[in-house]
Amino acid sequence: MRQQCSTCHYPVKTCICHAVQPVSNLTEVIVLQHPKESLHAKNTVRLLQLALTKISTYVGKSADDFSPLRHKLSTDPKPTAVFYPSPDSSAISAVTSRDTTRITRVIFIDSSWKQAFGIWQNNPWLNQFTFYQLPAETTGQYHIRQSKLQHSLSTLEAVAYGLYYVEQLDPKPLVDLLCAFTQRWQTYIPVR
């Protein structure tokens, strides 16, 4: 069995700890993660967990899977936004900074697009919150995972740019972490 770093939990030869810059986000980040995505070696939520000060991850697909989160949200109501391109979502870039500074909690879905659609469909409780989407011209740098959609972003990139719009948090430390991760991955594991 390969030795793993006790901090980042990646194999020692691909340890990413040197590239982690702590990011003090004011906005609470919640990630709804598909069970298959939680097992994926190239998943970027693990990187977010290393860098962000306020992040929680809930693994599941159905409303029942997210019962602890639903309870938390009902007992601790805060202005919450969901970043998902639903038919009713608004472009976050078109929202005034006065409106976005009221948001204190953001929810992202971490999975393939097909799985994300399933999570959204199976969790109508999310519809109590305002939905936003990032600008279509936002381009991703995460090229070691493929998507058929032109403007796909990794979850790390979506969170980094979402926090930029919500609290004007510089996305560079998170994007740099992703680039370091990509470089490490390409160095030790051939890209197919």
Least confident of 20-34, 63-77, 144-158: 144-158
DSSP state of 11: B
Domains of the chain, residue spans: 1-15+25-38+75-83+118-132+153-191
Work out the percent of the chain whose per-residue pLDDT is above 90.
Answer: 62
Token couple for 155: 């979850």
**Which of 73 and 182 is assigned the larger pLDDT?**
73
Q: Dihedral, CA atoms, 31, 32, 38, 42, nearest 10 degrees?
A: -50
Mean of the per-residue pLDDT values of the chain: 87
Residue 152 has pLDDT above 90, yes or no: no
> What is the pLDDT at residue 184?
80
pTM of the predicted protein model = 0.89
Token digits of residue 116: 């994300």
- pLDDT confidence of residue 69: 97
7 vs 185, more confident:
7
Predicted pLDDT of residue 35: 94
Q: How far is residue 147 from each of residues 15, 31, 154, measured CA to CA in Å?
A: 26, 20, 10
Give mean pLDDT, residues 7-29.
Answer: 91
